[in-house]
Chains A and B, each alone.
Chain A
Amino acid sequence: MDNNKSQTRREFLGGSLISALMLSSCDQKPHAFMTDEPILPSGDLVKLLSVDGEIIEVDRAFLKPVPDITPVTNEEARIGIEGKKFVMVIDLSRCKNLKKCQQACNHVHHVHPSQNWIKVYSMQEAEHTAPYWQPTTCMHCDEPPCVKVCPVDATFKRKDGIVLIDSNRCVGCRFCMAACPYSTRVFNWEEPDIPLEIAQQAYNCETSTPQKKGTVGKCDFCPDAVRKGELPHCVSSCPNGVFFFGDLVEDSVTNGSETVRFSELIKDKAGYRLMEDLGTKPSVYYLPPVSRNFPYESGLENQAPANSHSH
């Protein structure tokens, strides 16, 4: 009887796995392990924890590597992740211009060489004030000037606060670049220099890849990673824990090793946003560069020679 029960479960699981695959692979290339051959039970049972918290036994033959969560369609990508409001906190007291964030970001998104979605600015407000390093991502504004001016709805604001670009729709007018006060957007002036197998993929709004000639690109808060419960690549690549990412609804942000209450962090360390007076309402908060982990000078070696700090 026990055997019978597991048999039915097995059939159920196998069937649902296949149907899920078939659904998800509608407009995708078929996955390598998808086969028409019936799967024969090997008789070797493995104990697993089901999603309901029940312990179940599954024949080893049915265990297959789970593919990456299939990317959402560009229509779903426009809606966003329900019930979330993503925020980032950048702690300026921890940044020493290592640019690991930038390297990871450029690598993952195949950003065209010499262009950057993340920039690390050498800032100095006035002559007698202290210089500091300021990484910038897209601010994912709640009143995004770029979205306001886009004539074709190619750049859009999602329910979870993320601002993305549909490169399949962008007409390349570059009004968004003129409108963005944070100079966060870059343009693909030429055919992006990316590996052929990536370039041939269908464009996905959540991965922002592959970038296309004649369209605009920018930081996307890595919603594909976030959907999988992972952190954006700048956050996970920073060895100094500069970037905190999280959800305003849950009031929690993490840099991978520390998880803190967003509201407390902002309150305790007097967090602020860039160019508040413009009314763009960014989703990126900054913690002031006080009680620093590194002196400003330690970041100079990583600075490109032509970059001088601003006054």
Chain B
Amino acid sequence: MNVVTVSKTEQIIKDIQPRPFGKVGKIWLGFLIAICIVGSYAYYCQLRDGLVVTAMGDYVSWGIYISNFVFFVAISLVGSLITAIFRLANIHWSTPITRIAEIIAVSAIFFASLIIIVDMGRPERLYNLFLHPRLQSPIIWDVVVIGTYFIISLLLLYLPLLPDIKILLKQSKEMPGWMRKFYSWLGSFWTGSKVQKQINNHSIKILSIMIIPVAFCIHTVTSWLFATTYRPGWDSTNFGAYFVSGAFLVGAGGVVTAMYVFRQMYQLSDYITDKHFDRMGKAVVLLAFLYLYFNVNEYLVPAFKMKKPEEIHLTELFSGHFAPMFWFAIIVGMLLPIAILITKSGRKPMMVFIAGIMVVVGAWFKRYLIVTPTLLHPFLPMQDVPDKFRTYFPSWHEWAIAFGSLAGALLVITLFARIFPVIPIYETIIGEDENEEHLI
């Protein structure tokens, strides 16, 4: 910090410090809040009348709540990818996007927990998970690892914020009173002494190592919610790796999307540069290939044999009722992003942003395809049940709640960006410092 000229430091702070919402920001905020309110009302109806307000039945007993849950858990894995794996691999260029990745992780994992409570028939009995836990159940494993992941992610968001909080408290003149109060509450103990910095760096390093196995666990265990059953389409030893690779892909897609939006909204092109989009674009290509590989394993191997219970399931996906969505998820979620991002000219920010959106949307439908079609193909035929149990299309309550949760996650990210710098200030200054040292 001493080496860098004061003016440069000031410039960085000025560029990155949080700013009040503009007109677009306010419209966006209102839009998100409106969706959240509709979602909350739908959930109120569900609490009042029961899960009957959904389109679920005794066959499709898990619907878009669960696929949305899987989607949230998946996207949250990006925090560990960018902050931990890149950090441990000594990749420094990712520093400006670590906070974006981490807030996506925290927000997504929080809403994953919420949506799973929404799916419960008896949410008021949640305490039974702690009062009468059965360790044999993969749900309990999920509770443990998701809880752990949430806390580590929160710490990985908070600890790098501490130096930034101090810098902003000291430097920012136009900070409103409520924000100053909040900042002081969060980090007034931080003096920036050598010992504190040492402890903080050390903690971040330990957490970065810890979060990798935990991240693998959350999505592997989430895949086991399905893979530990006998059902065709779920009964697969490929599921853990398939889910984890898919999670890294959707997470990277989410991050490039957010990078672009923040860069445009906050004029951060000096910090989130074309180079970042180029590199993240390459990472998305790699991850899309990886996920494609596991998809080939997941579908081609059983399709080669066409065992009786798998046959109906696979035919429905490849050429039946679910075929449009299936090929949409494969083509838009994997193949097209690869095609766009594999060339250098395709890795321009705008194109990366579009590919990122494709990845995220494709991934959302992919999760739906993982959950629902399997439940429509039970071992014993669907007989002696009400007709409405034979098919599934989410009710408006389900759509409202699912979109409400997605809007909620975006709302948390949006509000976070209003209050905190989306690019780590301190680390950026230090980064400049190191670069200068290199030059010397």
**A185 x B58 contact (CB < 8 A):** yes
- Asked, given contacts A149-B138, A152-B128, whether A178 binds B121 with beta carbons under 8 Å apart, the answer is no
Q: Which of B47-55, B287-295, B327-335, B357-365 contacts A (4 or more CB under 8 A)?
A: B47-55
- A153–B132 Cα gap in the complex (Å)? 7
- A102–B383 Cα gap in the complex (Å)? 13
A152 CB contact (under 8 Å) in B133, B230, B380, B385: B133
Nearest CB to that of A275 among chain B residues? B379
Query: 8 Å CB contacts to A: which residues of B119-134?
Result: 119-123, 125-126, 128-129, 131-134
Chain B binding surface, main DSSP class: loop
B59 CB contact (under 8 Å) in A114, A120, A183, A188: A183
B405 to chain A, nearest CB (A): 17
**A115 x B58 contact (CB < 8 A):** yes
B274 to chain A, nearest CB (A): 46
**B379 x A182 contact (CB < 8 A):** yes
**A150 x B121 contact (CB < 8 A):** no
Nearest CB to that of B234 among chain A residues? A178
B136 CB contact (under 8 Å) in A120, A148, A186: A148
Q: Which of A145, A151, A307 has the most CB atoms of chain B within a 10 A radius of its CB? A: A151
Chain B contacts of A123 at CB under 8 A? 381
- A179–B62 Cα gap in the complex (Å)? 12
Q: Mark A131-157, 1 if CB is under 8 A from B, else 0.
A: 000001000000001001111111000
**B121 x A183 contact (CB < 8 A):** no
A147 to chain B, nearest CB (A): 8
Chain B contacts of A183 at CB under 8 A? 58-59, 378-380, 382
- A19–B21 Cα gap in the complex (Å)? 75
Chain B contacts of A169 at CB under 8 A? 125, 128, 132
Nearest CB to that of A113 among chain B residues? B386
- Asked, given contacts A148-B137, A169-B132, A177-B61, whether A119 binds B125 with beta carbons under 8 Å apart, the answer is no
- Asked, given contacts A182-B380, A190-B52, whether A171 binds B126 with beta carbons under 8 Å apart, the answer is yes
A309 to chain B, nearest CB (A): 7
**B52 x A121 contact (CB < 8 A):** no
Q: Mark B206-250, 1 if CB is under 8 A from A, else 0.
A: 000000000000000000011011110000000000000000000
Chain B contacts of A173 at CB under 8 A? 119-121, 139
**B137 x A149 contact (CB < 8 A):** yes
B139 CB contact (under 8 Å) in A120, A121, A175: A175
Q: Which of A115, A172, A173, A278 has the most CB atoms of chain B within a 10 A radius of its CB? A: A173
Report if A93 contacts B (CB, 8 A): no
Interface residues on A, range: 35 or more
Chain B contacts of A121 at CB under 8 A? 380-381, 383-384
B184 to chain A, nearest CB (A): 41
- Asked, given contacts A151-B133, A170-B122, A190-B49, whether A119 binds B58 with beta carbons under 8 Å apart, the answer is no
Report if A294 contacts B (CB, 8 A): no
Q: Mark A173-197, 1 if CB is under 8 A from B, else 0.
A: 1110111011101111111000000
**Using a Cβ cutoff of 8 Å, how many contacts connect chains A and B?**
153
Chain A contacts of B121 at CB under 8 A? 170-174, 187-188, 213-216
Chain B contacts of A102 at CB under 8 A? 384
A220 to chain B, nearest CB (A): 17
- Asked, given contacts A149-B138, A150-B137, whether A174 binds B379 with beta carbons under 8 Å apart, the answer is no
B381 CB contact (under 8 Å) in A154, A174, A213, A309: A309
Report if A208 contacts B (CB, 8 A): no
A150 to chain B, nearest CB (A): 6
Chain B contacts of A151 at CB under 8 A? 129, 133-134, 137, 139-140, 143
B380 CB contact (under 8 Å) in A136, A190, A215: A136
- Asked, given contacts A186-B58, A214-B51, whether A153 binds B134 with beta carbons under 8 Å apart, the answer is yes
- Asked, given contacts A171-B129, A182-B379, whether A189 binds B50 with beta carbons under 8 Å apart, the answer is yes
Q: Which of B120, B129, B385 has the most CB atoms of chain A within a 10 A radius of its CB? A: B385
- A123–B56 Cα gap in the complex (Å)? 25
- Asked, given contacts A145-B229, A149-B138, A171-B128, whether A181 binds B379 with beta carbons under 8 Å apart, the answer is yes
Nearest CB to that of A118 among chain B residues? B384
Q: Which of A179, A214, A307 has the most CB atoms of chain B within a 10 A radius of its CB? A: A214
- A144–B420 Cα gap in the complex (Å)? 51
Report if B387 contacts A (CB, 8 A): yes
Report if B106 contacts A (CB, 8 A): no
CB pairs A–B below 8 angstroms (9 shown)? A152-B129, A153-B134, A172-B51, A172-B120, A173-B119, A173-B139, A175-B139, A178-B62, A189-B54
The list of the 10 closest CB pairs from A to B, nearest first, reads A172-B121, A214-B121, A310-B381, A190-B52, A151-B139, A119-B384, A151-B137, A189-B52, A307-B383, A152-B128
Contact surface of A with B, Cβ cutoff 8 Å: 102, 114-116, 119-123, 136, 145, 148-154, 169-175, 177-179, 181-183, 185-191, 213-216, 275, 278, 304, 306-310
